[in-house]
A and B are shown apart, each in its own frame.
Chain A
Amino acid sequence: MAIRQIVVFFLENKRYGVEIENINDIYEKMDAVRVPNSDDFIDGIINLRGDVVTLVNLKKRLRIDRSKQEENIIICEMNKDKFGLTVDAIDGIIRLEKNENETQTDSGFIKGFIEKNGKQIIIIDLKRILTKN
């Protein structure tokens, strides 16, 4: 049976997850350079070992009210471009059997829901999130 691994993180006390295949690294938050006239959910750009990485504020992207400061950056790769998702905090990695307990949905940026060890995790659709509207 294939195993899926999900990186779980917090946005305003709720758990969200994204498949590990697309994830390169996780960093503490760092100073970013503002991108003039960009979409509001773009937090800026950073230099990651010579690569210019665009930071996407996940809460702004998902239109979640912000009260907490983002402390981590999840670096992911999509179509050979690197992005950084700014999130409140990292929870950990969970392992799942293929399609275990997953409720599929198709609403915007949300791919589905998973329940594991009594925790509710919202799986986000990275591709949609990182695609310009």
Chain B
Amino acid sequence: MDTSKYEDLFISESEEYIEQISSALLDLEKNSESTESVNVIFRAMHTLKGMAASMGYIEISQIAHGLEDVMDMIRGGTLQLSNELTDLLLKGNDYIDALVHKKNIDPGVIKSFRHVLESIKAGSKAFENTEQSKTANPAAPKIDPENSFTIEVIFSDDVMLKSARAFVVVKAAKDRGVFAKTEPDMDAVMREEFDKSFLLCLTSGDSANSLVEEIKKIPEIKDAILRKTEKKDETQEEKSGQRKDIKVSLERLDNLQNYASELVIARGRLQQIAYSTQNEELINALNSTSKIITNIQDEVMKIRMVPVWQIFDRYPRYIRDLSNKLNKKIDFIVKGRDIELDRALLNALADPLLHLLRNSIDHGIERSEERRAKRKKETGTIVLEAKRLKNAIIIEVSDDGKGLDTERILKKALERGLISEEHAKNLTQTDIFHFITQSGFSTKDEVSDVSGRGVGVDAVKSVLKQMGGSFEISSEKDRGTTFTLKVPLTLAIIKTLQVNVGSEVYIIPLTHIIETIDIKDEEIQSIMGREVFILRDQLIPIIRVSDIYKVKMNEKKTDYSIVLVEVDDSQYGILVDEFVEQSEVVVKSLRGMLSGIQGLAGVTILNNGMPSFIVDVPGLLQMAKVG
């Protein structure tokens, strides 16, 4: 068989299983009772083994087989999962991963690994107590993954004794020794918490047909339908670790997205023509087309949305390894793993998040002794959380470690000549935290191989800037540090406000905007050389876009517009000449010679065909402070 064309499919499917296995193993380490995790691993290994064998990858198949056997023993209760065993299983998973990606591994390594697996099997067999292994875990009956069956039991419409009849059904299955569980669960079935039918899951299909016949004979039961369970079962809905979708290459998806985006731009242009020529017929035709385009765009966007766990689930393993290496005890908690984000965005966030987590482990969380001395819980906690806001997603990395050392940061900033002595006195804590987002800034004295190389936090910031998002730091001594990443929902198309400044047009992402206000020239006051205005008894600093972008301004105006934004918990008024409209724009990143220009987040093409820059709001404020 020519397998080359299946290769990509094999790799991408294998990747899924490998990730499933790795995350289930870590779950299992935390909660050794989790039969669900065991089943997930077992199934995934089994599938991998089969896939690899059919593709002719004997080595992968052999390793998977060995690991499957070990998992089988854990499942049967003849083998206890230990830290070392988890390491071993993870390592096996790594080997498979490497082999799938055709990395060269010394065959000797694989051979000795398989030897270890064999010896585990042999060693465990010696102690095996067959009687015990059968009854070791009665709560979790074995389900043969290839051979599991369910029967849908349907009651007649006038059923009187639902629970009693259900009980008989279950008993019939138990008598045959094939009962696994019901759906909804037994308790719910007994409380009659189902409508006209429930599912009876069997451990094997051996006597399924005769069971069906018997159930059908029970009074008040209309029908019993036997189904072979698809490979997904109860663990699937919760974890969505196994998917049954068609695969589309990312490239095609990107193309589709690009075409959809261009369609949006083209629509804008058409609309402009239609309205300027006041052609009723054209306007009507365009309106209906416009709806379709919006739908297409929404659908394409939805296709691109993926849950954050696809990235988040990579981290537990890493954190486990790194904290072991650094000898720190860390509890890693992930929240909001089902929140969805544009795939490209999520991919772009993978490394920055990893860096922040690494930072928290290395710099944030103290060693146990130190924590004890501070009367803190010996085990540190790192929380990775995704939350949904109206037009943005918030991702937070927080730890309960020692917090950022403001004095040390300040000292470093002075040493590097980033600020002057006198300037340093007036800095707020937020200002000080901003130093660590500057490139090459690190307070760690020696360079470790973990972090402290002074690359990273600045890279995180620049990635977010490119996305039109923002990056904030809050920290309290000995209480911990929180990094907050604010990310637009999608990368490609963002909601924005278009503004005029002089003869130029700029685009401000709605992510940062709180409200818009019209203001008269006389309302602008000057306090200590800084322009401010009063909004609901609060002094709000004014930032003139024309100053920062050095826009040529012709005449002095009497009416201005203010875009009120919030960054780092403070509000600022961005002063522009006037608002044009709210619109969705397609973001193009600044590349080549335009990359790294301060205060600009990206560029887009307006309906009239002219390019226009997207304002990097946090960057703009930063420039205003310095200037």
Whether the Cβ atoms of B593 and A42 lie closer than 8 Å is yes
CA distance A1 to B384 in the complex (A): 63
In the docked arrangement, what's the CA distance between A78 and B588, Å?
17
Cβ of B265 < 8 Å from any Cβ of A?
Answer: yes
- Output the least CB separation between B615 and chain A (Å): 10
Q: Residue on A with the closest CB to B615?
A: A36
CA distance A66 to B584 in the complex (A): 40
Give the shortest distance, in Å, between B548 (CB) and chain A (any CB): 8
Query: B504 near A81 (CB under 8 angstroms)?
Result: no
B554 to chain A, nearest CB (A): 15
Interface assignment of A13: CB less than 8 Å from any CB of chain B: no
Question: In whole Å, how far is B575's beta carbon from the nearest beta carbon of chain A?
Answer: 15
**Bound state CA distance, A106 and B609, in angstroms?**
41
Q: Which of B262, B596, B610 is most buried by chain A, counting CB atoms within 10 A of its CB?
A: B610
* Closest chain A CB from B270 CB (angstroms): 15
| A37-B599 in contact given A50-B262, A83-B593, A130-B592 (Cβ < 8 Å) | yes
- B550 contacts which of A37, A45, A81 (Cβ < 8 Å)? A37
Residue A62 at the chain B interface, CB threshold 8 Å: no
Answer yes or no: A120 CB below 8 A from chain B CBs: no
- Of B262, B551, B594, B609, the contact of A45 (CB 8 Å cutoff): B594
Contact, CB under 8 Å: B611 / A33 = yes
The answer on a CB contact under 8 Å between B592 and A81 is: yes
Q: Which residues of A contact B612 (CB under 8 A)?
A: 33
A33-B611, A47-B605, A50-B262 are contacts. A78–B597 as well, Cβ < 8 Å?
no
List B residues 574-613 near A (Cβ within 8 Å): 588, 591-600, 603, 605, 609-613
Q: Which residues of B contact A54 (CB under 8 A)?
A: 592-594
State the CA gap A78–B592 with chains docked (Å).
Answer: 9
- Chain A residues with Cβ below 8 Å from B598 are 37
Question: Separation in Å of the A69 CB from the closest CB of chain B?
Answer: 19
Instruction: Name the CB-closest residue of B to A34.
Output: B504
Nearest CB on B from A82, distance (A): 9
Which residue of chain A is the closest to B604 with respect to CB atoms?
Answer: A52
- Whether the Cβ atoms of B594 and A35 lie closer than 8 Å is yes
Residues of chain B with a CB closer than 8 A to A39's CB: 593
CB-CB contacts below 8 Å: A74-133 with B: 78-79, 81, 83, 130, 132
B57 CB-CB contact with A under 8 Å:
no
Task: Give the complex CA separation of A95 and B504 in angstroms.
Answer: 43
Determine the distance from Cα of A34 to Cα of B591 in the docked complex, in whole angstroms.
16
- Is B599 a contact partner of A36 (Cβ separation < 8 A)? yes
Set of chain B residues within 8 Å of A45, measured between Cβ atoms: 594, 603, 611
Contact check, A83 vs B592: say whether CB atoms are below 8 A apart: yes
Give residues 544-562 of B contacting A (CB, 8 Å): 548-551
A38 within 8 A of B: yes
User: How far does the alpha carbon of A81 sit from the alpha carbon of B599 in the complex, in Å?
Assistant: 21
Q: Are A36 and B550 in contact (CB under 8 A)?
A: yes
What 1/0 mask marks residues of chain A from 14 to 53 whose CB sits below 8 Å from any chain B CB? Answer: 0000000000000000010111111100100111001010
Residues of A within 8 A of B603 (CB): 45, 52
Contacts of B596 in A (CB 8 A): 132
Chain A residues near B611: list those with CB within 8 A.
33, 45-47, 52
A126 to chain B, nearest CB (A): 13
- A47 and B262 CA atoms in complex are apart in Å by 13
Indicate the member of B592, B593, B611 with the most A CB atoms within 10 Å: B593
**Using Cβ atoms and an 8 Å threshold, which residues of chain B touch A52?**
588, 603, 605, 611
Q: Chain B at the A interface: mostly helix, strand, loop or mixed?
A: mixed
Bound complex: CA of A36 vs CA of B603, how far in Å?
12
Residues of A within 8 A of B591 (CB): 81
CA distance A67 to B465 in the complex (A): 39
Total A-B Cβ pairs within 8 A: 63
For the complex, give the distance between the alpha carbons of A83 and B591 in Å. Answer: 11
* Size band of the interface chain A makes with B: 20 to 34
List the B residue with the shortest CB-CB distance to A33. Answer: B611
**Inter-chain contacts of A81 with B (CB < 8 A):** 591-592
Measured between alpha carbons, how far is A33 from B549 in the docked complex, in Å?
A: 13
A6 contacts chain B at the CB level, 8 A cutoff:
no
What is the distance, in angstroms, from A110's C-beta to the closest C-beta of chain B?
19
Q: Which of B258-275 contact A (CB under 8 A)?
A: 262, 265
CB closest residue in chain A, given B506: A36
Say yes or no for A11: interface residue by CB 8 A criterion.
no
A50 contacts which chain B residues (CB < 8 A)?
A: 262, 265, 605
Which residues of chain A come closer than 8 Å to B548, judged between CB atoms? Answer: 36-37
Most buried by B among A33, A39, A81: A33
Is B610 in contact with A47, judged by CB distance below 8 angstroms?
yes
B549 touches A37 (CB 8 A): yes
Q: Which of B262, B551, B597 makes the CB contact (< 8 A) with A38?
A: B597
Which A residues are in CB contact (< 8 Å) with B504?
33-34
Contact flag A36-B551 (CB < 8 Å), given A47-B610, A50-B265:
yes
Contact, CB under 8 Å: A36 / B593:
no
Question: B residues within 8 A CB of A31?
Answer: 610
Contact indicator B549/A47 (Cβ below 8 Å): no
Residues in B with CB closer than 8 Å to A83 are 592-593
Task: Name the CB-closest residue of A to B266.
Answer: A50
Q: How long is the Cα–Cα vector from A39 to B593 in the complex, in angstroms?
A: 9
Known: A50-B605, A78-B592, A132-B593. A36 touches B600 (CB 8 A): yes
Residues of A within 8 A of B595 (CB): 132
- Nearest residue in B to A55 (C-beta to C-beta)? B593
A79 vs B595: C-alpha distance when bound (angstroms): 14
Asked, given contacts A50-B262, A52-B603, whether A35 binds B592 with beta carbons under 8 Å apart, the answer is no
Chain A: CB-nearest residue to B609: A47
Contact B613 A36 (CB under 8 A): yes
Judge whether A56 is part of the interface by a CB distance below 8 angstroms. Answer: yes
Docked CA distance A46–B588 (Å): 13
Chain B: minimal CB distance from A87 (Å) = 17
A80 to B255, CA, bound (A): 17
CB distance from B616 to the nearest CB of A (A): 11
Q: Which residues on B sit within 8 Å (CB–CB) of A42?
A: 593-594
What are 10 A-B pairs with beta-carbon distances under 8 A? Answer: A36-B597, A37-B550, A37-B600, A38-B594, A38-B597, A45-B611, A47-B610, A47-B611, A50-B265, A130-B592
Closest 7 CB pairs of A and B: A36-B549, A81-B592, A45-B611, A47-B611, A33-B611, A47-B605, A52-B611
Interfacial residues, chain A to chain B (CB-CB below 8 A): 31, 33-39, 42, 45-47, 50, 52, 54, 56, 78-79, 81, 83, 130, 132
Known contacts A37-B597, A38-B597, A42-B594, then 14 further A-B pairs from the complex at CB < 8 Å, ordered by chain A residue: A34-B504, A36-B548, A36-B550, A37-B598, A37-B600, A38-B593, A38-B594, A45-B594, A45-B611, A52-B611, A78-B592, A132-B592, A132-B593, A132-B596
